[in-house]
């Protein structure tokens, strides 16, 4: 009589740049002494390399900071935003021009990371801060005022004030040293970023044959550290003997990963636990045993942003199978799990900053 059984075997194993740039770099159009009422609006021309957030994402950050839409076509004040690749990093530039197209002020933004989103956030925050300052004062600020007071006043601006007269910042503001303004700014810690997503893995050695996995995950991330919780379900795989008898097996896992990152790369320590299900096929005494699975290992991943919130990540894992199993048919050993296994995969995620 044919039978199937398994036996357990033991084994073992936003950055500081964004804040500094936003508070330290006043960009300005030339003070023109306008008498317009209401908040300041500008015409925006935006250009960036493909891996950076687009104009819609840039505007959304500025609008979120101000509390109103500051962008209109055909208004006198015009802002040009340009982001270009500089080797592995990026460099941004914001330039103000008046109604005649004459230069009125500019500033460059060198990036200190390979993540263009950090640079875009810093530039958008800076532009919003300058618009707020102009809307609040209603006139060109005094060029002799202390730099720290100017920065502190700008930070205290309400999101959408109505001012009887709005003027772009004066030339004097362009000359304020960046470091002096930082001293007047409050010290803010970056908020963690939440993300959820789904992905696929291809497992080597985790089953009796090459097997695909589907996975869901959620994570919380800080500038250099992140924590991820995920679940993985393997596709059932079947092994048969020459006489047609065989077995199928399926893995169900929960995983925890602690990661360190240096954009766009990350390295993680993994721990996974779950169950292994075995089902006999075309045998006289089919059995459906289950047993525990425990795995640990390392993951290396590289991340590519797809706009401000979406991202795709490619990853590879090296695993140690802490619990190992062997399967027999009619007392004949047909499969034994190895000491080591691995996976490669691709994830698609969305952030909620």
**Per-domain residue ranges for the chain?**
16-183, 191-352
Report whether CATH 2.40.160.20 matches the domain 191-352.
yes
Q: How far apart are CA 78 and CA 326, in angstroms?
A: 71
The pLDDT assigned to 136 comes to: 65
Contact 329, 287 (CB under 8 A): no
Specify the 3-state DSSP secondary structure of 104.
strand
- Spans in the chain with pLDDT lower than 50: 1, 6, 8, 10-37, 138-167, 171-188
pTM score of the predicted model: 0.53
Residue 109 CA to residue 335 CA, distance in Å, equals 59
Rounded to whole angstroms, the Cα distance separating 1 from 93 reads 78
- pLDDT of 321 reads 94
Q: How far apart are CA 142 and CA 149, in angstroms?
A: 11
Query: Where are any strands of DSSP class E within 180-289?
Result: 193-204, 211-221, 225-234, 237-240, 246-262, 265-281
pLDDT at 241: 75
- Across-strand partners of 270? 257, 297
Calculated CA dihedral for residues 99, 102, 108, 114, nearest 10 degrees: 60
Q: What is the 3-state secondary structure (H, E, C) of 108-157?
A: EEECCCCCHHHHHHHHHHHHHHHHHHHHHHCCCCCCCCCHHHHHHHHHCC
């Amino acid at each position: 009589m044919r039978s199937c059984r398994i036996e357990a075997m033991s084994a073992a194993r936003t950055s500081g740049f964004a804040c500094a740039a936003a508070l330290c770099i006043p960009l300005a159009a030339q003070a023109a002494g306008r008498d317009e009422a209401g908040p300041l609006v500008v015409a925006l021309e935006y250009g960036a390399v493909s891996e950076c957030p687009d104009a819609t994402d840039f505007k959304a950050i500025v609008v979120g900071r101000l509390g109103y839409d500051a962008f209109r076509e055909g208004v006198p004040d015009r802002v040009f935003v340009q982001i270009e690749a500089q080797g592995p990093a990026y460099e941004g530039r914001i330039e103000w021009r008046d109604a005649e197209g004459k230069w009125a002020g500019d500033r460059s933004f060198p990036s200190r990371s390979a993540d263009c989103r950090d640079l875009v956030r810093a530039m958008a925050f800076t532009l919003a801060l300058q618009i707020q300052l102009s809307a609040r004062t209603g006139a060109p600020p005094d060029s002799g005022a202390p730099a720290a007071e100017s920065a502190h006043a700008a930070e205290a601006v309400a999101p959408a004030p109505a001012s009887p007269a709005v003027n772009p910042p004066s030339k004097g503001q362009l000359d304020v040293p960046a470091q002096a303004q930082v001293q007047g700014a409050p010290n803010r810690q970056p908020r963690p970023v939440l993300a959820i997503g789904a992905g696929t893995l291809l497992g080597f050695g985790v089953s009796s044959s090459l097997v695909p996995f589907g996975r869901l995950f959620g994570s919380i991330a800080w500038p250099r550290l992140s924590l991820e919780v995920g679940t993985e379900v393997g596709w059932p795989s079947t092994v048969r003997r020459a006489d047609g008898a065989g077995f199928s097996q399926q893995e169900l896992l929960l995983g925890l990963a602690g990661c360190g990152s240096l954009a766009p790369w990350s390295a993680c320590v993994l721990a996974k636990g779950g169950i292994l299900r075995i089902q006999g096929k075309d045998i006289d005494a089919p059995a459906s045993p289950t047993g525990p699975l425990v795995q640990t290992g390392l993951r290396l991943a590289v991340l590519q942003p797809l706009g401000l919130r979406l991202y795709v990540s490619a990853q590879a894992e090296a695993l140690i199978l802490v619990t190992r199993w062997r399967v027999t048919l009619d007392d004949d050993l047909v499969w034994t799990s190895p000491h080591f296994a691995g996976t490669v995969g691709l994830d698609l995620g969305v952030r909620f900053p």
